[in-house]
Chain A
Amino acid sequence: MNPVYRRSTTFYLWSALTYLAIMGRYMITRDWPVFEIIPIFMPIWLVSALTASEDDERYAFLRMLPVPDRDIARAKLVLILGSAAFQWLLMTGAALARMDEGIADPSTLVYLTLVCVFGLLAAAGYQIAIWRYGISTMKPVLIASIIAGIAFAIIHLASLKNVDDWPALSRSAVVEWLGGAPWISNVVLAALALLGFRALMRAGVRVKAASEAHL
């Protein structure tokens, strides 16, 4: 296994396992609004794994090795894609399993996909920004994003429970409309996400090759 993959995989694997252990348990045991709140943690988890991995990375060392920048860029972005796909599969599986209980419905499946697409593209965008500007510049932005995400999740959960008519994201008009044909919507959303990810991958390879932020 490419050592660049091996080192970074540790961080994403740890992230996936903790997500599985903590959020997975909630999704299986808790009632509404579990599928409204738990997906919000997906981008937070992904960006946390990215931050930990990049904070420990030494690109100047990697550049001394005969490993082309494009291979490093692809390895890093594929790990983000893999991690996002794992979390999407986990949440979708849990939602499907709880449809009979009425805890999840077709709109939930679309909502999960939308959040995972957002998380995937945000994490990939952050990764490219780290190559462009360096981890020391981006770290405060990443930490602020994580804190803002957690604060949003807490406020949203508290408001859903305590404020009448507080809007649920998974019940928004767009999500409901897409939920009318969840499998088609999900396929289209996944295809669009992969197209966006491909464009980011190309940009990422270019940015990484020209990057001097580690010097």
Chain B
Amino acid sequence: MDTVLEATDLTKHYEDFSLRGASLTVRKGSVSGIFGPNAAGKSTLLRMLAGQTPVPDGTLRVLGQSYADADRDLKNRIGYVPQEPVFYENRTVEWHARFAAPCFARWDGAAFHRLLEDFRVNPLKKVKHLSGGQKKLLSLALAFSHGAELLILDEPTAGLDIVHRRSLLDRLRALANAGDTTVVVASHITDGLDEIAEDITFLHDGRVVLRESADDLATNWKWVIYKDGSIDRAVEERFASVRRQPFGSRGLTGDFPAVREALAPALASGDARLDHASLEDILLSFIKGA
């Protein structure tokens, strides 16, 4: 397994917020999703991963190097899209391309203009006249136009309409399938991005509370819908969350293989059944349980 990014115990303290001991490993050619509620620390973590802010504590290796030793080389190989647009508001889209082009070793102007066309962003417009979604698309076009091996995208679908969001997800999926590009995305919403993420990290209150592959999440996390009294109380107590309903209960388990045997009689008799747990369900269970 080629590791593109390895972060260990990343810690950063601000006046009103701390990211505490975040660790993360990203495989080459994968799509990793970092999810969590607002103010969970996703943007702080991504800024550190993308070399936008110094790493005071912990270790970070990106593409086998550290920003302290190889800032220029790494930023040539990384495409970063920040949560908020960071452009010169009084300059045109084209001006930004002309500004960025000589900085990147592998800038592809034709690809940039093709993307602008796909995204329907007018290159002659001043940034201050673009909508929030168009600014996000401009950020994405810049990140996609210099042959980046690693894309670090902070809420890339925020502000995008349904057409562009779908187009972006397809593009990210295609890049990851091609195997040469690795994608790390962060979002507070799981809509869409959870479909393409192969590895999931949950951040809550500045801490990584869960790191699992999407396959393991699907195996381990299940809703158990059961008639009250049909399953052992000890099993019920192991559920991450339980919702009482008029005709029974729904319990969310994060360790289905461990309770499978205990649930077997209820499942066999039809007193209980299983349902898929979405990423949003799992995320909510962590937030509410915290």
| With A68-B71, A215-B47: A61-B103 Cβ-Cβ less than 8 Å | no
Q: Is the CB of A66 within 8 A of B105?
A: yes
In the bound complex, how far is the Cα of B183 from the Cα of A74, in angstroms? 33
The distance in angstroms between the C-alpha atoms of A162 and B125, with both chains bound, is 55
Query: Is B286 in the interface zone, CB < 8 Å from A?
Result: no
Inter-subunit contact B88/A61 (CB<8 Å): yes
Could you tell me the distance between the alpha carbons of A60 and B76 in the complex, rounded to whole angstroms? 16
Chain B 80-112 interface residues, beta-carbon cutoff 8 Å to A: 80, 82, 86-88, 90, 96, 98-100, 102-105
Task: Write out the residue numbers on chain A whose beta carbons fall within 8 Å of the beta carbon of B51.
Answer: 63
- Using Cβ atoms and an 8 Å threshold, which residues of chain B touch A69? 71
In the complex, what residues of B have CB within 8 A of residue A199's CB? none
Q: From A1, which residue of chain B is reached at the shortest CB distance?
A: B102
Report how far A2 CA is from B90 CA in the complex, Å: 20
Q: Check if B73 is an interface residue, CB within 8 A of chain A.
A: yes
Indicate if B52 sits at the interface (CB-CB under 8 A): yes
Contact of B86 among A2, A60, A66, A210 (CB under 8 A): A60
Asked if A78 is at the interface (CB within 8 A of a chain B CB), the reply is: no
The bracket for how many chain A residues form the interface is 10 to 19
Taking the nearest CB of chain A, how far is it from the CB of B149, in angstroms? 13
* B contact residues, range: 20 to 34
B59 within 8 A of A: no
When each residue 116-128 of chain A gets 1 if its CB lies under 8 Å from chain B and 0 otherwise, what string results? 0000000000000
Using Cβ atoms and an 8 Å threshold, which residues of chain B touch A2? 102
Residue in chain B with minimal CB distance to A67: B103
Cβ proximity bits B123-143 to A, threshold 8 Å, 1 near / 0 not: 000000000000000000010
- Is B87 a contact partner of A61 (Cβ separation < 8 A)? yes
Complex Cα distance A67/B103, Å? Answer: 7
Given contacts A7-B99, A67-B72, A68-B72, contact A56 B52 (CB under 8 A): no
Q: How far is the CB of A192 from chain B (nearest CB, A)?
A: 33
- Contacts A58-B86, A58-B87 hold; do A210 and B72 have CB atoms under 8 A apart? no
* A60 B82 Cβ-Cβ under 8 A: yes
User: Is there a chain A Cβ closer than 8 Å to B53's Cβ?
Assistant: yes
A128 to chain B, nearest CB (A): 17
Q: Is the CB of B53 within 8 A of A61?
A: no
Chain B residues, Cβ within 8 Å of A65: 75, 100, 103-104
Interface check B54, CB cutoff 8 A: yes
The residue that A56 contacts in the complex, of B73, B90, B103, with Cβ under 8 A, is: B90
Q: CB < 8 Å: which of A64, A66, A67, A68 contacts B52?
A: A64
A58 to B142 alpha-carbon distance, docked (Å): 16
A31 lies within 8 A of chain B by Cβ: no
- Whether the pair B88, A58 counts as a contact (CB closer than 8 A) is yes
- In the complex, chain B residues whose CB is within 8 Å of the CB of A60: 52, 82, 86
A-B pairs, top 3 by smallest CB distance, nearest first, are A60-B86, A66-B75, A65-B103
Write the residues of chain A forming the contact surface with B, with a CB cutoff of 8 angstroms: 2-3, 7, 56, 58, 60-61, 63-69, 209-210, 212, 215
